[in-house]
Amino acid sequence: MFFDMAITHYMLTFSSSCVTLVLGVLLLGIRIPRQEVLGKLRKARAYLAGAYFVLAASGFFSYFMGVEAEKDYVLMACTLFIASCQAFLFTVTCITFVRPAWVTRAIVLRHLSVIGVVGGSLVAISLLPEAGELFPYALYGCVVLYGLQLLRYVHLFRREYGRSLQQVEAYYDEEENHRLRWVKVCFYSALVIGVWALVSIFAGSLLYCLFIVAYTAYYASMVYRFSNYMADAKFLIPALSAGPVPAEGEISDYEQRHLSEKEQRLKAALERWVADKEYCKPDVDVESVVVSLGTNHNFFRHYLKTHMDSDFRAWRMKLRVGEARRLIEERPDVSLDEVCRLAGFNHLSNLHRQFEKIVGMTPTEYRRSLGGR
């Protein structure tokens, strides 16, 4: 061969550790506004930076100790231990992006304690004089536990990711799945890296070197994605941190006795709200509308269900589509992008989807049916 694989492994390990250390410092340097609602995001950054520093430290240890990737029991044990820690820290980070309320200090400490006990035991066994006899059995047992750990994290992430989509949908009336999709990509990419780490334990130096390159590139991409998340954080975190939408409750006796009066006030407030085209303002959650109308969530829901046979999101969407339809009819020179903005849609794809659902044709088809371009 044209190069020494052992030297290549050592140099890659050292280089990757340096890069990972720098990336961890850069991650901590990402500015997060000092707002209470973004507190969980600062914790996610700390967990993620911890994963970077732990990996960098393990890489420097491996380099300066001069262990061989394919032979040393200590390195095999440390690789599995570090992979287990990384799997947890990345899972916690990704769940924090989509369900901040799930992540608590107690959960983090409990998981890390279990990982520390199991992983530390494996490393201790690898250091014993009789490791050649005991270590293979302990290693295979820990590999099984690691596989179960990954399956558990997949289940947790899928569950919390699904709940977050429901919560964002309840908070905002448009489909905002695209704002969270990158988190799912990051999580499953981390899962691939985690599986690769497991395979690399039993593989030769070449695959291990490729693994080092792959996880270094992935860690760099995570810093980039985290910094870009700031653009969506102010939009998503309030929805993801909010409590569940209030359940539909009974109208109180007092409200029942004064129902007609309250209905009249709410009807007048809604008429003003529609006349002012407040429904064209994007990114306004239902609770804010309820407060602006001077009522409460249960009574508002009761009123819409009783008098309009609809919920608020569907009703507001019909108003927005109606406004888009009016703009297309009365202003044929206005682009669909402008129609989208003026009618209160965040994205042109949402306008197309909702317009076709309610009108029966896309905005473009509707404009053509009117003889427009």
- Identify whether the C-beta of residue 286 lies closer than 8 Å to the C-beta of residue 338: no
The overall average pLDDT reported for the chain is: 79
Question: Binning pLDDT at 50, 70 and 90, where does residue 234 land?
Answer: low
Determine the 3-state secondary structure of 281 from DSSP.
coil
Q: Judging by beta carbons within 10 Å of its beta carbon (0-12, 13-18, 19+), is residue 113 exposed, middle or buried?
A: exposed
Q: What confidence tens digit (pLDDT) does each residue in 190-231 have? A: 888 888 888 877 776 777 788 888 888 888 888 888 887 766
Q: How far is Cα 343 from Cα 346, in angstroms, rounded to an integer?
A: 9
Residues 334-344 have a mean pLDDT of: 90
Which of 218, 79, 95, 214 lies closest to 153 in space, CA to CA? 95
Fold of 5-241: Rhopdopsin 7-helix transmembrane proteins (1.20.1070)
The 10 Å Cβ neighbour count of residue 108 is 16
Amino acid at 178: H
Is pLDDT at 37 greater than 80 in this prediction?
no
Question: Binning pLDDT at 50, 70 and 90, where does residue 176 land?
Answer: low
Residue with tokens 């427009």: 372
Amino acid at 290: V
Q: How far is Cα 77 from Cα 249, in angstroms, rounded to an integer?
A: 55
Question: Binning pLDDT at 50, 70 and 90, where does residue 171 land?
Answer: low
Residues across the chain = 373
Each domain of the chain, given as residue ranges in start order, spans: 5-241, 254-369
Instruction: Say yes or no: do domains 5-241 and 254-369 share a fold.
Output: no
CB within 8 Å of 188: residues ≥ 6 apart: none
Q: What confidence tens digit (pLDDT) does each residue in 139-169 have? A: 889 889 989 999 999 999 998 888 787 777 6
Q: What confidence tens digit (pLDDT) does each residue in 74-130 have? A: 778 877 888 888 888 888 888 877 777 777 778 888 888 888 898 888 888 887 777
Q: What is the pTM of this model?
A: 0.62
138 vs 79, more confident? 138
Question: What pLDDT score was predicted for residue 246?
Answer: 44
Residues 339-357 have a mean pLDDT of: 87
| CATH, domain range 254-369 | 1.10.10.60
Q: How far is Cα 367 from Cα 358, in angstroms, rounded to an integer?
A: 15
Q: How far is Cα 363 from Cα 60, in angstroms, rounded to an integer?
A: 59
Q: How far is Cα 138 from Cα 160, in angstroms, rounded to an integer?
A: 33
The 10 Å Cβ neighbour count of residue 267 is 12
pLDDT above 90: percentage of residues in the chain? 5
Is pLDDT at 21 greater than 80 in this prediction?
yes
- Identify whether the C-beta of residue 256 lies closer than 8 Å to the C-beta of residue 306: no
Is pLDDT at 1 greater than 60 in this prediction?
no
